Structure formats: C-alpha cells, structure tokens
C-alpha cells in the first residue's frame, strides 16, 4: 500500500483537480436531473423502490460513520479506515441510486401541514444545501486518510464528518416524513 500511496501523492495536484471537478459536476448534474422538464423512461416502475433503498443505504452509512468515529476514538485505525470506506462506498451507491430515481420519477410533494411542514422543509433545505457542499470535504478527507496524511485528514474531517453525518441522518428523517405521500 505504501508504494501505491507514493504514486497517488506524486500526482496530488491532479488528484485535487479531480476532487474539485467532481465536487462541482455532481451537484450540477443532480440539479439538472431534478429540474429537467421531462423524465427519462427507464421502462419500468422499479425506480419507485429506490427511495426506500436509499433510506436503507443512508441508515447503513450513518451506522458506518458512527462506528468509524468510535474506532478512531479507540485508536483502531485499521477498523476506522474500513468503516469509513464502507460509508464512502455506500455514499457512492446512494448517489447513483438517487440520480437514477430523480432522472426517471417525478418528485413527491410533502402533504403535511402546520409546524410539521415547516420542520420538513427546514430539514429538506438544510439537507440539500449540505449534501451539495459535502462532497468536496468528504473527498478530501477520504483522500488524505487513504494517503495517510493525518494532519490534513484531521483538519478536513472537523468539517466533513459532521456535515456528512447530518446529511445521512436528515436523509433518513426526510424520507420517513415524506414516505406516506409516495404515489408508488
């Protein structure tokens, strides 16, 4: 692994450019998919299962994030890396599933009224904003952890971890609040 890290570190400028590009392109692509006038026809109703799957993925990512924090507090770096890699992979799977769903299905309208509506939209808006900006520090935190740049990793994680945890938790809460209103 050490030789592989040296190769990655030798291309750190290129890696950082990719991280920045990905951090800009993915939120823009998601925004386009959410607001495009016509949805893609993927040929089946199977996409309506994806929000339920996404909630499970977000729940599992939340658990992996919390377990990763416990492991690093215990000084168990190997298990911390494994937990965070699981959370990272779950996040990538979630992103693909989320994009597929929103490319093919119309958005569901929340039907709650009164204070629950205000709470829902507060959680949804903060979730969306933080999800859009979370990719940047998460990718840097993961890269610095992967390349064993611990000082840089710790500095970025101070921002990345709470944002990532908030996004995974609020993703599940928002899902639970809107799920009674899904048409399919």
Q: What is the pLDDT of residue 5?
A: 54
Give the containing element (helix H, strand E) for 82: helix 77-104
For residue 3, name the pLDDT band (cuts at 50, 70, 90). very low
**Cβ atoms of 83 and 61 closer than 8 Å:** no
| Structure tokens that stand for 164 in this block | 């990532």
Number of domains in the chain: 1
Write out pLDDT tens, residues 113-133: 999 999 999 999 999 999 989
Of 25-29, 156-160, 165-169, 172-176, the one with minimum mean pLDDT is 25-29
CB-based burial of residue 43 (10 Å sphere; 0-12 exposed, 13-18 middle, 19+ buried)? exposed
Give the Cα separation of 101 and 51 in Å (integer).
8
Q: pTM for this structure? A: 0.85
What is the chain's Cα-based Rg? 18
For residue 31, name the pLDDT band (cuts at 50, 70, 90). confident
Q: How many CB atoms lie within 10 A of CB 174?
A: 20
Q: What is the pLDDT of residue 4?
A: 52
For residue 64, name the pLDDT band (cuts at 50, 70, 90). very high
Boundaries of domain holding 176: 2-181
What's 102's domain CATH number?
1.20.120
């Amino acid at each position: 692994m050490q030789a592989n890290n040296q190769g990655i570190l030798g291309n750190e400028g290129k890696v950082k450019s990719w991280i920045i590009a990905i951090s800009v392109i993915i939120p823009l692509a998601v925004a386009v998919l959410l607001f495009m006038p016509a949805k893609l026809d993927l040929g089946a109703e199977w996409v309506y299962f994806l929000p339920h799957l996404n909630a499970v993925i977000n729940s599992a990512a939340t658990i992996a994030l919390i377990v990763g924090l416990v492991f690093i507090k215990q000084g168990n770096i190997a298990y911390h890396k494994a937990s965070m890699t699981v959370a990272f992979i779950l996040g990538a799977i979630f992103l693909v599933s989320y994009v597929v769903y929103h490319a093919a299905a119309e958005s569901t309208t929340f039907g709650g009224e009164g204070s629950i509506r205000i709470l829902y939209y507060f959680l949804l808006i903060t979730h969306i904003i933080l999800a859009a900006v979370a990719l940047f520090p998460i990718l840097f935190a993961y890269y610095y952890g992967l390349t064993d740049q611990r000082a840089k990793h710790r500095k970025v994680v101070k921002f990345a971890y709470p944002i990532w945890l908030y996004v995974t938790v609020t993703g599940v809460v928002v899902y639970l609040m809107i799920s009674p209103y899904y048409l399919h």
